[in-house]
């Protein structure tokens, strides 16, 4: 197939890679439905996909990955900048030349027996001034199909690229060459853990991934480009690339505010982005559920786009109760990975809200489910098209982005952190973002689930440079002349009472908290000053039905002893890691907060 572009740099790159990986064929992707169908057919022929019942779940497929390849691999994820100081203490640094030598050895001949697909894709609406172009080379039809859903793929992108446009080269291989006559034969292709590499070369704006076919390790537009590489571009160009959902909040009077929110992986970003309010007259619509790119507009406001075109959501816990809009988005045209298969050809997972129908359930490992272990993997996912979500906001593809009024930070915190508090200033907000902590979930393979880890700005696994410099970048953004900065809030839906149960019902009831955020942006909220920041005045947030006054008071309690312990932990186990890159303004915030609490 002849290349559909005359972009010399792109053609040379594809040629150079092809010589190294020696595929059987090269195919340029056009993003068409026919191409998507062919990718699915290839996966079906290889025994890697199962079609779901065409009436229950039209045009939808189930994939099961290898049990060793089920999540992002943080300890195999590298920031290969020229100096270790550019990667910082929270990233795995490796010398770029050493890494390239190792990886070239792995890539040599790795696509034998396979087709090399070239996927031109846009992160963000094609042609938007905020969008960026990437080109992924992969040997996985599963990746091509997922990229069709998660990004904008195809000929329109090549047109924007022209003959010399800028693109991020993203090289991916599952790392399983096929011998002559060999086929995958139902075995998910990947390499062993110690040969997996998810590598970023920030100075060159380049990504090389090897050995994993799963999620953020393989769909390189998402975490690798839109966060790790884009965060470096954002630092250099004066904007923000963040692990944030974007939602549109409309009041009963029809006034609209856009809110961005950063939570660590699997803490409910998708649920919040698609929330159905329990309070009369309010609506929430979705602009994005995972990533926000924000740039200042001429009016001084920060405008955000969702660079993605789909949702790669965590399946377990998703139900008509927790997220009806996601459930509707996945009714058709969806790729499911590592969920269970029911006897009537449909999918099932823990927390879907109903029992599977009678008959055999096949678990995510492909075995008859014996009910002793989870049927769906805790990090099993759906890949669904944004346009199939009934809550998608009309503005979600606006190339200019949407103006952000408020930014929320949060995590899973069983104690201390109240339901909501607001930063007193941008600098105080940056401090709050820098100390985000959360109980670890199953979204990454190699971190201990259940323990609290600091995840500044929910960017710990996704910041492509030194986190101390990242904090300084956020502080600098706040000094932009003429900036009309969003207000910053910290939320916690996960505080537990003495009985170990969640105090707050969450989900749709979170609209009560969003309403207060909205009112604070309008200047009409009822609030009080506390040592930790601005908080709702008593009664300013209506308690959900059934929530006692005592529970509400506990949710909004400022636990001085808990906070002092928290700050001690921040000072001695978190901030101390950043050495002289830690901005003094953040230490000043820490000192001032400690003094206010001790007063």
Per CB under 6 A, residues contacting ligand OXD are: 72, 215-216, 265, 290, 312, 443
Q: Which of residues 153-182 bind Mn ion (CB under 5 A)?
A: none
Asked whether the beta carbons of 249 and 284 are under 8 A apart, the reply is yes
Q: Which of residues 239-268 bind Mn ion (CB under 5 A)?
A: 265
Q: Which of 184, 242, 290, 395 binds Mn ion (CB under 5 A)?
A: 290
CA 380 to CA 47: how far, in whole Å?
19
Q: Report the DSSP beta bridge partners of residue 171.
A: 137, 208
Q: Which stretch binds Mn ion (CB under 5 A): 285-293, 313-321, 423-431, 543-551?
A: 285-293
Sign, Cα dihedral of 545, 546, 547, 549: positive
Q: Which one of 29, 170, 190, 267 is the catalytic residue?
A: 267
Asked whether the beta carbons of 252 and 426 are under 8 A apart, the reply is no
Which is nearer to Mn ion, 75 or 549 (by Cβ)? 75
User: What are residue 420's phi and psi, to 5 degrees?
Assistant: -155, 140
Helix ranges (DSSP H) in 46-123: 84-87, 96-107
Which is nearer to ligand OXD, 305 or 521 (by Cβ)? 305
Q: Which stretch binds Mn ion (CB under 5 A): 80-88, 287-295, 407-415, 537-545?
A: 287-295
User: Which DSSP letter does residue 74 get?
Assistant: G
Smallest gap from residue 270 Cβ to Mn ion (A)? 9
Residue 505 tokens, joined: 């019902």
Smallest gap from residue 577 Cβ to ligand OXD (A)? 22
End-to-end CA distance of the chain: 73
Helix, strand, coil percentages for the chain (3-state, nearest 5): 30, 25, 45
DSSP E strand stretches across 251-348: 256-262, 283-288, 292-296, 302-305, 310-314, 335-337, 340-341, 347-348
Asked whether the beta carbons of 248 and 289 are under 8 A apart, the reply is no
Pick from Mn ion, ligand OXD, none: which does 231 bind, CB < 5 to 8 A by kind? none
Pick from Mn ion, ligand OXD, none: which does 72 bind, CB < 5 to 8 A by kind? ligand OXD
Pick from ligand OXD, Mn ion, none: which does 458 bind, CB < 5 to 8 A by kind? none
Smallest gap from residue 458 Cβ to ligand OXD (A)? 8
Smallest gap from residue 265 Cβ to Mn ion (A)? 5
Pick from Mn ion, ligand OXD, none: which does 312 bind, CB < 5 to 8 A by kind? ligand OXD
Residue indicated by tokens 């691999």: 73
CA 132 to CA 166: how far, in whole Å?
8
User: Which DSSP letter does residue 223 get?
Assistant: I
Residue in the shown chain whose Cβ atom is closest to ligand OXD? 265
Which is nearer to ligand OXD, 379 or 388 (by Cβ)? 379
Which is nearer to Mn ion, 228 or 257 (by Cβ)? 228
Which is nearer to Mn ion, 461 or 536 (by Cβ)? 461
DSSP assignment string, 476-507: HHTT-TT-BPPEEEEE-TT-B-TTSSBSS--G
User: Which DSSP letter does residue 72 get?
Assistant: B
User: What are residue 422's phi and psi, to 5 degrees?
Assistant: -115, 140
| Nearest Cα to Cα of residue 239 among 157, 284, 297, 163 | 297
Rg (CA), the chain: 24
Q: Mask: binding to Mn ion, 60-99, rule CB under 5 A, as x and -?
A: ----------------------------------------
How many CA atoms does the CB half-sphere of 350 hold within 13 Å? Answer: 14
| Count of all residues that appear for the chain in the document | 599
Smallest gap from residue 91 Cβ to ligand OXD (A)? 16
Which is nearer to ligand OXD, 462 or 518 (by Cβ)? 462
Pick from Mn ion, ligand OXD, none: which does 96 bind, CB < 5 to 8 A by kind? none
CA 264 to CA 255: how far, in whole Å?
29
Smallest gap from residue 396 Cβ to Mn ion (A)? 17
CA 183 to CA 535: how far, in whole Å?
60
Which is nearer to ligand OXD, 215 or 544 (by Cβ)? 215
| Nearest Cα to Cα of residue 211 among 193, 224, 225, 223 | 193
Smallest gap from residue 353 Cβ to Mn ion (A)? 23
Which is nearer to ligand OXD, 269 or 495 (by Cβ)? 269
For the question of residue 224 being annotated catalytic, the response is no
Measured at the CA of 224, the angle between CA 223 and CA 229, to 5 degrees, comes to 115
Q: Which stretch binds Mn ion (CB under 5 A): 141-149, 289-297, 477-485, 553-561?
A: 289-297
Residue 456 tokens, joined: 């500044």
CA 480 to CA 300: how far, in whole Å?
9
Smallest gap from residue 566 Cβ to ligand OXD (A)? 24
Smallest gap from residue 107 Cβ to ligand OXD (A)? 25
Which is nearer to ligand OXD, 111 or 315 (by Cβ)? 315
Task: Supply the residues annotated as catalytic.
Answer: 267
Residues that bind Mn ion (CB under 5 A): 265, 290
């Amino acid at each position: 197939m002849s290349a559909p572009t005359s972009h010399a740099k792109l053609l040379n790159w594809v040629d150079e890679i092809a010589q190294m990986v020696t595929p059987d064929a090269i195919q340029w992707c056009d993003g068409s439905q026919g191409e998507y169908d062919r990718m699915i057919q290839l996966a079906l022929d290889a025994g890697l996909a199962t079609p779901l019942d065409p009436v229950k779940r039209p045009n939808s497929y189930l994939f099961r990955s290898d049990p060793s390849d089920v999540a992002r691999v943080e300890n195999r994820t590298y920031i290969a900048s020229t100096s270790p100081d550019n990667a910082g203490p929270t990233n795995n640094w490796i010398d770029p030349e050493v890494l390239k030598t190792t990886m070239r050895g792995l890539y040599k001949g790795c696509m034998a027996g396979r087709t090399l697909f070239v996927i031109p894709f846009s992160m963000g609406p094609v042609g938007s001034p905020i969008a960026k172009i990437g080109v992924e080379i992969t040997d996985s039809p599963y990746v091509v199909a997922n990229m069709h859903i998660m990004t904008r793929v195809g000929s329109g992108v090549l047109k924007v690229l022209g003959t010399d446009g800028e693109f991020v080269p993203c090289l991916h291989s599952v790392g399983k060459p096929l011998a002559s006559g060999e086929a995958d034969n139902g075995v998910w292709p990947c390499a062993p853990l110690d040969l997996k590499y998810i590598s970023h070369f920030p100075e060159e704006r380049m990504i090389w991934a090897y050995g994993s076919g799963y999620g953020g390790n393989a769909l390189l537009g998402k975490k690798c480009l839109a966060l790790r590489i884009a965060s470096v571009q954002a630092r250099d160009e004066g904007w923000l690339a963040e692990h944030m959902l974007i939602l549109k909040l409309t009041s009963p009077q029809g006034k609209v505010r856009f809110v961005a929110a950063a939570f660590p992986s699997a803490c409910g970003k998708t649920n919040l982005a698609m929330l159905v309010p329990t309070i009369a007259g309010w609506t929430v619509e979705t602009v994005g559920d995972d990533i926000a790119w924000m740039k200042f507009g001429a009016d001084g406001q920060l405008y955000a786009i969702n660079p993605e075109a789909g949702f790669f959501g965590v399946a377990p816990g998703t139900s008509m109760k927790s997220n009806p809009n996601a459930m509707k988005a996945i009714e058709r045209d969806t790729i499911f990975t590592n969920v269970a298969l029911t006897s009537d050809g449909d999918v099932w997972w823990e927390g879907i809200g109903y029992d599977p129908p009678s008959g055999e359930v096949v678990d995510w490992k492909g075995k008859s489910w014996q009910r002793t272990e989870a049927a769906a993997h805790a990090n099993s996912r759906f890949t669904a098209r944004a346009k199939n979500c009934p809550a998608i906001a009309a503005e979600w593809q606006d190339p200019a982005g949407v103006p952000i009024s408020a930014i929320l930070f949060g995590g899973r915190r069983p104690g201390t952190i109240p339901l909501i508090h607001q930063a007193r200033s941008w600098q105080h907000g940056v401090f709050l973002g820098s100390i985000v902590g959360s109980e670890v979930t199953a979204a990454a393979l190699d971190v201990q689930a259940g323990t609290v880890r600091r995840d500044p700005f929910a960017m710990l696994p996704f910041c492509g440079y030194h986190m101390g410099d990242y904090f300084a970048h956020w502080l600098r953004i706040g000094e932009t002349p003429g900036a009309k900065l969003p207000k910053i809030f910290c939320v916690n839906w996960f505080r537990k009472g003495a009985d170990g149960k969640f105090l707050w019902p969450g989900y749709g009831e979170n609209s009560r908290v969003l309403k207060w955020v909205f009112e604070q942006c309008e200047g009409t909220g009822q609030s009080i000053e506390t040592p930790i920041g601005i908080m709702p005045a008593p009664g300013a947030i209506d308690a959900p039905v059934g929530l006692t006054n005592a529970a509400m008071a506990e949710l909004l309690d400022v636990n001085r002893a808990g906070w002092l312990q928290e700050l001690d932990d921040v000072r001695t186990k978190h901030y101390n890691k950043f050495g002289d890159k830690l901005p003094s303004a953040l230490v000043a915030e820490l000192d001032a907060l400690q003094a206010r609490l001790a007063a």
